[in-house]
């Protein structure tokens, strides 16, 4: 029973249908008469993601030359003798794991080529097409710019694959 007609401190809480005075603790909250499960934590941004790759050098070269990412390495916090590799862009990074030599903990099922990533790019995607072709990078979707929907609205996108076969979408937001 929703606490309707009760004083303000009781509104938005669940009470027993048998005895409205009996408050039932719950992790549900009420908004405009709808039940919403309370989140454990609210995500605000992405810090990093991990790609499992066959060849670190080929991956570093691709992301440096195609997306202008910065190669970086760091020492593993669990093993001072272990140097790890990553690619930085903006406030995010992509950590790289070599297939068969992944760091723990890791995803439940890791394999090269299973990623599907969309990057918003500064350059116009129409200008990117000939540059990709010059570098010998195959453009999917018939070699054309295609319309898609991203997290923040409409996109114009170009699709390619990285050396491991991950699907890489290079996109511009469409101004409304």
Active site residue 169: yes
Query: The tokens 């405009």 sit on which residue?
Result: 32
Q: Which of 171, 29, 50, 25 is nearest to 109 (CA)?
A: 50
> What is the DSSP annotation of 42-79?
------EEEEEES-HHHHHHHHHHHH-PEEEEEE-SS-
Catalytic residue among 102, 122, 169, 175: 169
Residues found in the chain: 176
Could you give the residue numbers annotated as active site?
169
């Amino acid at each position: 029973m929703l606490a309707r007609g009760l004083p303000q401190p009781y509104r938005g809480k669940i009470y027993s249908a048998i005895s409205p005075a009996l408050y039932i603790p719950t992790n549900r909250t009420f908004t405009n008469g709808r039940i919403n499960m309370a989140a454990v934590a609210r995500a605000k941004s992405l810090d990093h993601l991990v790609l499992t790759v066959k060849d670190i050098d080929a991956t570093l070269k691709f992301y440096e030359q195609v997306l202008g990412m910065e190669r970086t390495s760091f020492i593993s916090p669990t093993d001072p003798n272990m140097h790890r590799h990553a690619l930085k862009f903006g406030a995010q990074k992509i950590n790289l794991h070599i297939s068969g030599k992944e760091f723990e903990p890791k995803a439940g099922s890791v394999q090269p080529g299973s990623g599907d990533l969309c990057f918003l790019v500064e350059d116009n995607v129409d200008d990117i097409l000939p540059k990709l072709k010059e570098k010998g990078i195959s453009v999917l979707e018939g070699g054309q710019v295609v319309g898609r929907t991203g997290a923040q609205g409409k996109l114009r996108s170009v699709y390619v694959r990285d050396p491991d076969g991950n699907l890489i979408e290079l996109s511009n937001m469409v101004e409304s």
